[in-house]
Amino acid sequence: MQPAALGLELKERWCKKLLQGEKKLELRRYAIPEEFLDQPVYLLSTPDGHEGQSTLPPETMPAAHPGVSIAGTVTFSGQVVYSSYEQWLGDVALHCVDPDTPYSWQPGITKEMFGWQIASVQSAAAPQPVPAMRRVLSSWFKVLEVQGAEQPLQ
């Protein structure tokens, strides 16, 4: 698995769908920053439950933090902007978010959503412990440099 400078928090079931190729778009309520495109990103798998809430620390996450592991990497190449419920609903097979979940378009409330286009994924041979990381935006973390680290994650 390639080393990465960023990590993205996802619930375990979404990581699995993404790594198995079932999920072609990662659905979010905000645009992916351009500087996060076209580079490998660690998939930070957290247990299902606590829907719509992060289970990770609000700022800095120490190395080998419990309750999270690296499931693989993903590279995003761009995004689709959804400006209507009908448009969003037409891509359910690509983003895998059913209309009756907390992650879905909320008619009368949602104004737009974003489907981050998945260019490639790579599974880890086995779940890997996370390096020390710092939250930089919503579910995004930046890997902190670790002194003496000479080998990339497997």
Looking at residue 20, its amino acid is Q
pLDDT tens digit sequence for 113-140? 999 999 999 999 999 999 999 999 999 9
104 vs 153, which has greater pLDDT?
A: 104
Q: Reply yes or no on whether the pLDDT at 87 is more than 90.
A: yes
Q: What is the mean pLDDT of the chain?
A: 92
51 vs 80, which has greater pLDDT?
A: 80
Is residue 38 within 8 Å of 77, Cβ to Cβ? Answer: yes
Q: Indicate the pTM of the whole model.
A: 0.91
pLDDT tens digit sequence for 27-49? 999 999 999 999 999 999 999 87
The CA angle 26-28-32, to the nearest 5 degrees, is 80
Q: Reply yes or no on whether the pLDDT at 101 is more than 80.
A: yes
Q: CA distances (Å), 32 to each of 10, 99, 117, 123, 136, in order?
A: 15, 22, 10, 22, 13
